[in-house]
Structure 1
Amino acid sequence: MSEYIFEEIYKKIIAKLEQDLPGSLAYHNAHHTKYVVEMAEKLAVYENITGRDLQLVKLAALYHDTGFLLHREEHESLGCQIASRDLEGTLTTAELGKVCGMIAATKIPQRPKNKMEKIVADADLFYLGTSNYKKYSQKLYLELKHFDPSINEEKWLKIQIDFLSSHSYHTDYARENLQPIKQKVLNSLLVDR
């Protein structure tokens, strides 16, 4: 698959996410998908993933939340179905299996089984170890509050602390560069408790 073909698929999927996702998805939206594709490519290059495998990583990142177009629950398996339908004929059956494995690796709790799955899993939660944590966390809070109005700031603080405490990065890059920042974020949340 050429870079041109990937760009055409990318444009189509991003446009669909921008047009068809409900506005209540303050976090799981086209902007998040663009960010995950960018971070997946960054991590893949760092982890020496190139060529066709790099394209597969980027496709998995692109499709990882497309399931939200159909339903919030089990959106990873729905995203796999959408990717399989869209990419049939472009990818081999084995390649579609790899893409679906990477999409599944983003399901919480994350359980990636190989390097490519680890890359997409870390790309999906890259923001946890960045200076943008607060901004993205606020968007996720607004989204979750829409679906569960009982979530208040106190509950949200507990959710964040529990999640950050249990989360682990999977790639060398993320463990070296993101984990220390994520730990500082967690420490600051613990102070706020």
Structure 2
Amino acid sequence: MQVEQAGGFILDKIKKELPKHFHYHNADHALDVYTAAKQIAAGEGIIGDELELLLTAAYYHDSGFLFGQVNHEAGSCKNARQHLPDFGYTSDEIEQVCDIIMATKMPQNPHNHLGQIICDADLDYLGRNDFFILSKRLFSELVITDHLESELEWDRQQVKFLQSHHYFTQTALRLRAEGKNEHLKIITKKI
């Protein structure tokens, strides 16, 4: 498995082909999830082939936006199945990558440890210091893609989302739960 080469390939494809209105779900987000997955995996003791499969899934998890927003996880698996054989992945490894990717479909429902890690990595920003910067990017994307009409509507959605969200891994809980709760308090005060 040539993880970095496979990742570089899909990041380049996303940068070149993704419509510009995806201010959040873009190559920067893929790299962000890759970095978070690596950090959480280290905390959870994931090494070897499992780590390589997880990091590959992080690179590819939202590449399905190249085909459109709806059911993009299936599109991400389509990209994985089409391109990963060129980077030394077996069909079994590709299916494992797709299984990890599908865990990120909302509402998140991971059924194994790697799925839990990618779910936590995908929403790692909820508890980080750059939450409001990334949240603003997501808002500007959703104004275009989901016809979101106001910041007040966005704040209400975020409160509902933050209240219902939970991290799966002990590492993410330790690193991000407190920050996420602080962000929830700040937004709740706004509305």
Note the alpha carbon deviations across 1:41-86, whole angstroms, 9 max, x for none: 1111111110111100000000000100111100001101110121
Match of 1:61?
Answer: 58
Q: TM-score, normalised by structure 1?
A: 0.94
Q: Unaligned stretches of 5+ in structure 1?
A: none
Residue 31 (structure 2) pairs with residue 34 (structure 1): yes
CA contact (8 A) 2:6 2:84 kept: no
Please tell me the residue identity of whatever aligns with 2:147.
Answer: P
CA contact (8 A) 1:43 1:123 kept: yes
Aligned-residue RMSD, C-alpha: 1.2
Residue 170 (structure 2) pairs with residue 172 (structure 1): yes
Bigger mean CA deviation after superposition, 30-39 or 87-96: 87-96
Please tell me the residue identity of whatever aligns with 1:87.
Answer: L
Please tell me the residue identity of whatever aligns with 1:95.
Answer: E
Matches within 5 A, 1:1-193: 1=1, 5-88=2-85, 90-193=88-191
CA contact (8 A) 1:144 1:151 kept: no
**Alignment length, in residue pairs?**
190
Query: For 2:89, what is the secondary structure of its paired residue?
Result: coil
Tell me by how many angstroms 1:96 deviates. Answer: 1.8
Q: TM-score, normalised by structure 2?
A: 0.95
CA contact (8 A) 2:43 2:171 kept: yes
Q: Unaligned stretches of 5+ in structure 2?
A: none
Tell me by how many angstroms 1:155 deviates. Answer: 0.5
CA contact (8 A) 1:130 1:181 kept: yes
Tell me by how many angstroms 1:91 deviates. Answer: 2.4
